[in-house]
Amino acid sequence: MRSRSEKNSNIILKILLSGIVVSLLACSCSDRSSKTDHNDLIPEKTLISILTEVHIADGLLFLPKIRSTYSERDSVANYVDIIERYGYSKETMDRTMRYYFIKKPKKLIRIYDRILDKLSEMETYFTKEEDNTRSLFEDQWTGNSSYYLPDPTGNESVSFDLKLDKPGTYTLTFTVTLFPSDQSFKPHFTAYLCHPDSIETGKRIYLPAINYIKDGYPHTYILSKEIDVNSFAHLKGWFYDYENCRDDWQKHVRIDNISLRFILNVR
């Protein structure tokens, strides 16, 4: 059951559509006694499409940039462009609307209902697409945004495990500052891909290692990987890996600005 606010908005939209139609008919005569040949009318399906576009155009004309572009034109001319694009003239549109207003007012209401349904479907679709697009460009990273070693709390884990479960391109970005006082041997970034069903036992596909520079300056690294529908995977690894054999050495590194972006591949 439709809410009261939804019903009210539908009534308002019907009034707006009626206003558009009246403006289209403003310059035409309305001889109620004249007979109309149905062959001279715009088919109902096409009429719905025309009126839907007319309503959208009317809404767009409220936007300042668009309104200024078309401000010098007659208000009806913008609607006539739509009508003619469907292969009909304004006179045919006037004749069609006169017929429904005078002969078939109840059917005109049903036509309005179909237009409302069509506009509602379009709104739902574009709202969903907007939400999906927004989510694609939001940061997908759910872990800590930064690490500092030595960690005052004693937690020195800088590992990660990312689930790549949508087809597209994943881009991992992070900044590493490795201080000269750090005593790691061959410090580097290590990561590998593995199938979700065999994370511990399956085949590992290692990505090229990134060797760090121990100069005390921040360096930003970008790692991109394309995943298709047949290769969903986990990306596992360590932001700070090394080849030291003993544990009694000083760590001094900062890892900042960690982010994971996803872009859907368009084929």
Longest C-alpha distance within the chain, in Å? 103
* SS3 assignment, position 178: strand
Residues 96 and 217 in one domain: no
Residues 69 and 160 in one domain: no
Task: Identify the domain boundary among 137, 170, 204.
Answer: 137
Q: What spatial distance separates the first Cα and last Cα of the chain, rounded to whole Å?
A: 40
Pairing of strands 210-211, 159-164: unpaired
Whole-number Å distance between alpha carbons of 239 and 190: 7
Residues 128 and 233 in one domain: no
Residue 242: give the domain boundaries.
147-264
Count other C-beta atoms under 10 Å from residue 21's C-beta: 22
Q: Does residue 232 lie within any of the structural domains?
A: yes
Q: Does residue 168 lie within any of the structural domains?
A: yes
Q: What is the pLDDT of residue 245?
A: 83
Whole-number Å distance between alpha carbons of 20 and 15: 9
Tell me the residue type at 99. Answer: Y
Whole-number Å distance between alpha carbons of 153 and 58: 61
CATH of the domain at 156: 2.60.120.200
Residues 77 and 154 in one domain: no
Burial grade of 193 (CB within 10 A; 0-12, 13-18, 19 or more): buried
Instruction: Give the total number of structural domains in the chain.
Output: 2
- Selection from 1, 119, 100 nearest residue 59 by Cα: 119
Residues 19 and 59 in one domain: yes
Residues 219 and 117 in one domain: no
Whole-number Å distance between alpha carbons of 176 and 178: 6
Residues 206 and 105 in one domain: no
Low-confidence ranges of the chain (pLDDT < 50): 1-12, 14-16, 22, 25-34, 267
Q: Where are the beta strands (DSSP E) in the chain?
A: 147-149, 159-164, 168-178, 188-194, 205-206, 210-211, 218-227, 233-241, 253-264
Which DSSP helix (H) or strand (E) runs through 23? helix 4-25
Q: What is the pLDDT of residue 132?
A: 59
- Selection from 66, 154, 51, 163 nearest residue 108 by Cα: 51
Residues 14 and 110 in one domain: yes
Q: Does residue 142 lie within any of the structural domains?
A: no
Q: Does residue 222 lie within any of the structural domains?
A: yes
Whole-number Å distance between alpha carbons of 167 and 260: 15
Is-cis flag, bond preceding 196, omega within 30? no
Residues 8 and 120 in one domain: yes
Whole-number Å distance between alpha carbons of 92 and 37: 11
Q: Does residue 32 lie within any of the structural domains?
A: yes
**What pTM was estimated for this model as a whole?**
0.50
